[in-house]
Chains A and B, each alone.
Chain A
């Protein structure tokens, strides 16, 4: 079921990606047949992608799906095994410095110097990126204002909270006025409130700067902020579309039930309704068209005592599930995934 759905939507979104936006401007990020292999492990297995100017584009997938590897190739931090990628019309393989001058980077792990003040960190960045001397001071003020840290610019970064550090990194990523800002899991490790405030700042900078944002995330609520999302699983893009279209494409509601005997209920659902169900996140979960109308039938025809029922409209979670056959948390939980281990290994090393 999921395989069929992904093919049809895959084709639809591909044609949409070409026809959408103004066709005259070349895409800011263009990726074609990209692969990356680490020894035995194929982390990226043929990715095609076009991101347009001004878009907020999200890569959604579990850890180890190939998100970080792809972003590394786009940022010239890793070489692709095959395929091409251009950023701001520069080739990531052959025009490394030109690409770097046009991108801002915010990594999962902090890359600030805690022994320097916020201002010193920004100055360091400005010099390394060759920001014209006369522009450094006003631009620094601008980006620090944008993330609400101007008053704290003289504070040592080691005294900053996690959320402040992330905001400072975003400000620093913008300092040299890049055309694309890459955010690799921008709110990972932050508490929910701080995550919300980071998004408020990101939306603010979208309003102020002419910039394209490319981000990776494995938080569904975060993906909702994006103009378009690519769902990536096992190194491949299985769907690209707007969050709304992805959700609509599911076409079914999600029903979660708690029963006296889940195994018996799974058997009964298959036998009586022809519905495939599985236990996700501790509840028996399945998708069905017209969920609310289905519930009364469920009670009379299931034959297994039901303790509770919840029906929800399709969320990105459901879209993710319909394309990959699993929830993102299930995908995360399978710790034996070799690509995930590889990803963890690569992160730890750098």
Chain B
């Protein structure tokens, strides 16, 4: 251990060793930066258990209150043996990461107001590594949030099948990443936390309602069909529901009715393309966010 009195020799040794770390660091330095920005998100999430609990309230309300309440009404339209809660579960699962992802991106606005953003922006690292770290951090904690909600799958009669769970976690991670990237992109421009909250509140509910989380996407009026196909959330909720229903022992007709698979003007969109769209959108928005942060001083 280092003693209290610092000898000049020891000191200059430290100083010298630090000076040596010049521009050579390059990519490894960027990785360290990404990693520490990511870790900070995790540390803050861990110390904020209240947030973890409160952000579960909304999906739980949707699943158990709305789900149970509507199931008596929906029973007539549902194939026998399928619970309405099972039907809305994938959509509500997506919802469980929706708020956490976007709000974790909102911490950039918070950081800006409280000055910490400056500590990051004046460091000798690329802006890209800060944005990437932030996006990955938000994606990670939102996915944790989703996994907690995933533990409640049994209450919605969704089986705890390892393959299914793994697929769902992967899809949650992808969704969380894209949503965080979206949030970071918005946060690059917005300087007030209240404004960020108001704007995201305004966007989040339409995203959720248009995603087909609460109703099947077939047989809708054409205006609504178009709107649902524009909503990026649709392209994750669809594959998640598909994954859930392919692990249920329900007749093919029921699956066709409830999880018909996404179509573009009659052409069925394959799952890989669906998820690919979400990934490309996420990467594009992250790219925009990086460009925006490069512009700020």
Contacts and interface: CB of A to CB of B under 8 A. Distances in A.
Given A116-B44, A120-B43, A107 B18 contact: no
B17 A123 contact: no
Contact of B40 (A100, A113, A141, A145): A113
Interface stretch (B81-89, B111-119, B216-224, B264-272): B111-119
Interface in B1-37: 2, 4, 6, 10-12, 14-15, 17-23, 25, 29, 32-33, 35-36
B203 interface: no
A128 B44 contact: no
A100 B17 contact: no
Interface residues of A, number: 45
Interface stretch (A24-32, A39-47, A130-138, A284-292): A130-138
B40 A116 contact: yes
Given A100-B123, A127-B32, A349-B191, A139 B115 contact: no
Contacts of B43: 116, 120
Interface in A75-134: 75-79, 96-98, 100-101, 105, 107, 109-116, 120, 123-125, 127-132, 134
A109 B116 CA distance: 10
Nearest to B10: A138
Contacts of A100: 122-124
Given A113-B116, A124-B36, A132-B21, A177 B14 contact: yes
Contacts of B20: 132
A124 B137 CA distance: 14
Contact of A130 (B35, B48, B124): B124
A176 B23 contact: no
30 contacts: A77-B297, A79-B297, A98-B22, A98-B23, A109-B115, A110-B115, A112-B119, A113-B116, A113-B119, A115-B48, A116-B40, A123-B36, A124-B40, A127-B32, A128-B32, A128-B36, A128-B124, A129-B123, A130-B21, A130-B29, A130-B125, A132-B20, A138-B10, A139-B14, A141-B2, A142-B11, A177-B18, A208-B6, A209-B11, A350-B297
B118 A111 contact: yes
A78 B19 CA distance: 25
A110 B114 CA distance: 8
B36 A115 contact: no
Given A138-B14, A139-B14, A77 B44 contact: no
Given A98-B124, A125-B119, A138-B10, 20 more contacts: A96-B124, A100-B123, A100-B124, A101-B22, A101-B124, A109-B115, A111-B115, A111-B119, A112-B119, A115-B48, A116-B40, A130-B21, A130-B32, A130-B125, A132-B18, A132-B21, A138-B14, A139-B18, A141-B2, A209-B15
Given A115-B44, A139-B14, A349-B191, A129 B114 contact: no
Interface in B179-236: 191
Contact of B6 (A107, A142, A350): A142
B33 A127 contact: yes
Interface string A142-168: 100100000000000000000000000
Nearest to A140: B2
Interface of A: 72, 75-79, 96-98, 100-101, 105, 107, 109-116, 120, 123-125, 127-132, 134-135, 138-139, 141-142, 145, 176-177, 208-210, 349-350
B47 interface: yes
B288 interface: no
A113 B118 CA distance: 11
A38 B112 CA distance: 22
Contact of B25 (A105, A113, A124, A130): A130
B78 interface: no
B66 interface: no
Nearest 8 A-B pairs (CB), nearest first? A127-B36, A100-B124, A128-B123, A111-B115, A97-B124, A177-B18, A111-B119, A130-B29
Interface of B: 2, 4, 6, 10-12, 14-15, 17-23, 25, 29, 32-33, 35-36, 40, 43-44, 47-48, 111-112, 114-116, 118-120, 122-125, 191, 297
Contacts of A125: 119, 123
B118 A114 contact: no
A103 B40 CA distance: 24
Majority SS at the chain B contact face: helix
A210 B21 contact: no
B30 to A, nearest CB: 9
Nearest to A95: B23
A135 B15 CA distance: 9
A7 to B, nearest CB: 35
Contact of B115 (A76, A107, A116, A209): A107
A208 B124 contact: no
B19 A177 contact: yes
A350 B20 CA distance: 32
Nearest to B31: A127
A113 to B, nearest CB: 5
B14 A105 contact: no
Contacts of A349: 191
A120 B33 CA distance: 14
Nearest to A211: B15
A97 B125 CA distance: 7
Nearest to B35: A127
Contact of A210 (B15, B119, B124, B191): B15
Contacts of B19: 177
A131 to B, nearest CB: 6
Contacts of B191: 349
B210 to A, nearest CB: 35
A3 to B, nearest CB: 36
A208 B35 CA distance: 32
A176 B16 CA distance: 11
